[in-house]
Structure 1
Amino acid sequence: MARVPYLDKAFPEVNQVWNEVSAKLKEVYAEVGLEMSLIELVCVRSSQMNRCGTCLSIHVPRALEAGVTQRQIDILPSWRESGDEFSAQEKAALDLTEQLVRLPEGVRNSGAGERALTFFNEQQVAALEWCIIMISANNRVSIASHHPVRKY
């Protein structure tokens, strides 16, 4: 059986630009005052929703290093029912993540971005949305490429 190509290897020049965008976004997160623990929490939730084992094997360790607790990762799929395990700010970011990853049919704008403005300024919401878009795209690249789950 033929193996599908790794998209990142098939067009390395596209992958290079992709990596530059990711690096720039890390600068943006710092510039707008978003903690890496929040960014990694969003990346883990998106990767869970998209069922991307490769990205989970990357972002779970990063989340732990950034200060997300193991308990938060364990209960992340049920964050809405988690009581006070997540801050109001984290919940707003997770709501935004779920709305952008799912893109519910028949709903042009879920209002998650507006709700997030209660806890973040406009630049922070925009940076979070870029984060969600990028990790979702990364999930799809890894899934399409059949990237392996990384070893810890």
Structure 2
Amino acid sequence: MTNRINLAKKAPKVYRAMIALDAAAGEGIDENLAELVRIRASQLNHCAYCINMHTADARKKGETEARIYLLSAWQEAGDIYTEKEQAALLLTEAITVMSSHEYVSDEVYAQAAKHFEEEELAQLIALIFTINSWNRIAVSTRMAPDVH
């Protein structure tokens, strides 16, 4: 797999805007929760670059190996994730995998709203659509993870 176009060099205004959006979207969200959301969205989008980066970031922030490893099967992992984290992961999956047959249902939204104040929920939604944008940038340009 080889890299394609370098968006940062060829569309620098867009890239800088994404960095600013990413910083704004993460405000007010617990850092560990944010990394779980970023990893889960990246798993769903098959974004190796972002999975690698956010897994490393999660470890640096103190996330456990078990919680990182089990993230792809979080619904089967029992109470390893808090109810708030589960609500965030459910919302992440609903927003990430939208299609003509799947959408963010009222039930999924209500579950998230039960655990997040409105401002925090707005930030969470922004965090989710931002990591999805980063995933699409990395996958479409074939950004390779640095695993050495």
1:130 alignment partner in structure 2: 126
Q: 1:86 aligns with which of 81, 92, 99?
A: 81
**Residue type at the aligned position of 2:10:** A
8 A Cα contact 1:54 1:142, kept in partner:
yes
Unpaired runs of 5+ in structure 2? none
TM-score (norm 2): 0.90
- Distance in 2, matches of 1:3 and 1:37, equals 29
Residue 4 of structure 1 aligns to a residue in which SS? coil
Work out the CA distance in 2 between the residues paired with 1:3 and 1:73. Answer: 27
Q: After superposition, what is the alpha-carbon deviation per residue over 1:21-44, rounded to whole angstroms, capped at 9, x for unaligned?
A: 222223x22xxxx21000000000
Residue of structure 1 aligned with 2:43, choices 39, 48, 51: 48
Aligned identity (percent) is: 29
Q: Does 1:69 align with 2:64?
A: yes
Pair 1:23-2:48 in alignment: no
Shift of 1:92: 0.3
How far apart in 1 are the matches of 2:103 and 2:89?
A: 19
Q: Runs (4+) of structure 1 moved beyond 3 Å? A: 106-109
Aligned match for 2:94, one of 89, 96, 99: 99
Q: Where does the alignment leave 5 or more consecutive residues of structure 1 unmatched? A: none
Cα gap change, 1:56 to 1:63, in 2 (>3 Å): same
2:55 corresponds to which of 49, 60, 69? 60
| CA RMSD after TM alignment | 1.8
The 1-side partners of 2:127 and 2:25 are apart by 7
